[in-house]
Amino acid sequence: MQKRKLGKSGLEVSALGLGCMGLSFGYGPAVERETGIRLIRSAVEKGITFFDTAEVYGPFSNEELVGEALAPLRDKVVIATKFGFNIDADGTQHSDPPLNSRTTHIKEVAEASLKRLGTDRIDLFYQHRVDPNVPIEDVAGAVKDLIDEGKVLHFGLSEAGVDVIRRAHAIQPVTALQSEYSLWWREQEEEIFPVLEELGIGFVPFSPLGRGFLTGKIDENTAFDSKDFRNTSPRFSPEARKANQAIVDLIADFAKAKNATPAQIALAWVLAQKDWIVPIPGTTKLHRLEENIGATEVELTADDLSELDSLTAEVEVQGDRYSEGSQKLVNR
């Protein structure tokens, strides 16, 4: 597995990470604990060194799973987790307000995450969503304190806009921004990428496979589990899926010509955009993990990239990424 550095921070990770959320949360029932542990440890065996979790995934159960799985391998891996939701110590989530990045709360979350992960340091600590009620300077200052104490090594932001990134970076250098990015969601290219390049910040795309849609394994007739959040996503309504199938068909045809799968082409395309981008596709299945890792061996030429850009530009993707309530938490 190739390695990449997240911006100028010096934090080196595998070119592909593993998003662990879906093992516990978001896409249906949690996997059996032993299944999750086996998958995470298999990822390490296959060269992945970068693992992404968050307190809100569960809440708490995903951090506990990741911590247990990686305990014997701790010094070989980089663990990223997140703070920022309004969650009590007993796991109660509050919706009024839904976010909480008060400085005291950040430090409480860090201590709790360290215990759940069974580690003495959090390699990368992201603010999960920008809290409009707390100045980002205060947030960055709180993480700076944790870095000074050795409990956190690097500071990250998720779904933050240009102004927030600049203001945070002025207080405590930001190592990475995590936001959605894929062949069907490219908003970051226009304003965000130039700022990341200027400041030397890495980019960690979540949902690089379009929440599974770009794999070609989902169509308008697919029925999601009742606990799957895609049931509430406008982009995954049956009507939107039917319209958006066009982009998957184009990628699938291209993939055949390259002797690759659609998922591998979608990931290879993300990897080819910048050398400071490290996507974190998630999966619950070992054969999908192996398929995703195979994307790092797919070489796309400049002509290939140009062709993919032209093909996908033909399709206007239908549907918003999030439901109205969730969209309010995404601060651009």
Burial of 130 (0-12, 13-18, 19+ CB in 10 A): buried
For residues 159 and 130, the answer to whether their CB atoms sit within 8 Å is yes
| Amino acid letter, residue 150 | G
H-helix or E-strand spanning residue 233: none
Task: Look at residue 325 in the predicted model and tell me its pLDDT.
Answer: 81
Using CA atoms, how far apart are residues 318 and 135, in angstroms rounded to an integer? 34
Sign of CA dihedral 209, 210, 213, 216: negative
Record the pTM: 0.98
DSSP codes of every residue in 236-268:
GSHHHHHHHHHHHHHHHHHHHHTTS-HHHHHHH
Q: Which residues contact 274 (CB under 8 A, 6 or more apart)?
A: 193, 197, 203
For residues 199 and 169, the answer to whether their CB atoms sit within 8 Å is yes
Task: Look at residue 332 in the predicted model and tell me its pLDDT.
Answer: 45
Q: What residues are labeled active site?
A: 57
Name beta bridge partners: 205.
179
Distances (CA, A) of 152 to 122, 126, 166: 5, 10, 20
Task: Assign 152 to helix, strand or coil.
Answer: strand
Distances (CA, A) of 124 to 94, 213, 258, 270: 25, 28, 35, 21
Using CA atoms, how far apart are residues 73 and 205, in angstroms rounded to an integer? 24
Q: Which of 175, 173, 160 is CA-nearest to residue 80?
A: 175
For residues 94 and 59, the answer to whether their CB atoms sit within 8 Å is no
Task: Look at residue 114 in the predicted model and tell me its pLDDT.
Answer: 98
Domains of the chain: 3-210+274-298 (3.20.20.100)
- In Å, the largest CA–CA distance within the chain is 54
Q: Which residues contact 80 (CB under 8 A, 6 or more apart)?
A: 50, 51, 52, 53, 122, 123, 124, 125, 126, 156, 176, 178, 204
Name beta bridge partners: 206.
180
Tens-digit pLDDT string for the chain (332 aa): 999 999 999 999 999 999 999 999 999 999 999 999 999 999 999 999 999 999 999 999 999 999 999 999 999 999 999 999 999 999 999 999 999 999 999 999 999 999 999 999 999 999 999 999 999 999 999 999 999 999 999 999 999 999 999 999 999 999 999 999 999 999 999 999 999 999 999 999 999 999 999 999 999 999 999 999 999 999 999 999 999 999 999 999 999 999 999 999 999 999 999 999 999 999 999 999 999 999 999 999 999 999 999 999 999 999 999 888 888 888 54
Q: What is the DSSP letter of 109?
A: H
